[in-house]
Homo-oligomer: A and B are copies of this chain.
């Protein structure tokens, strides 16, 4: 009976992982269509402030959230020894972290070019808090699970649920940051009367794809946890 349930969850969890990949790629495609076709392109070194700004949503979703999600699922997607999975997990998170730094710099550069205050909106508060906590979680995770020869196995095992719960909360925070950011840009464009029906729907579908990516990553990790129990 127990084996049947576990098998069922395992199959479901791997379906959820496939779903997460698909929504992640869908989100990326929609985001690229939006930024390249409707918003003038992506260029960090441009004199056009809008193109500098566009680096921000691109890197924060594709660089940061997408890689962080893939890192969380590495224990299910990388068919190798646990140690290899662990290193892939840490490495993908490091890619996410590096992309996030450039993505955040892009928005500060945009604010400077347009003489806009930094850090005034709920989006910026959630976003920067998430990013700092994410950095700390990475450091704490590396210290505990990668470079901790002196720590006993049972101490590490005791930290696993906290590490997973914090990681899932951070994923949840980063999706909230992404959606509040999209909502802020959407409202600006709408009030400036430059937002057509088609672009408005495109932004909404992009937001939904990002949200579904987060949910599918979260569920696949949660069900993986149920299998482990």
Contacts and interface: CB of A to CB of B under 8 A. Distances in A.
Nearest to A171: B172
Interface stretch (A67-75, A96-104, A218-226): A218-226
A223 B186 contact: no
Q: How large is the interface on A (under 10, 10 to 19, 20 to 34, 35 or more residues)?
A: 35 or more
- Pick the most buried of A8, A122, A154, A161: most chain B CB atoms within 10 A of its CB: A122
Interface string A176-195: 10011011101110110000
Contact of A188 (B169, B173, B182, B187): B187
Nearest to A216: B169
A191 B225 CA distance: 45
A229 interface: yes
A121 B195 CA distance: 11
Nearest to A215: B169
A204 interface: yes
Interface in A143-157: 154
Contact of A182 (B1, B8, B122, B191): B122
Given A122-B186, A126-B207, A204-B121, A219 B165 contact: yes
Nearest to A158: B5
Given A121-B183, A188-B191, A222-B222, 16 more contacts: A5-B158, A9-B161, A120-B190, A121-B190, A121-B200, A121-B204, A122-B183, A122-B203, A172-B172, A172-B175, A175-B176, A180-B182, A180-B183, A183-B187, A225-B226, A229-B229
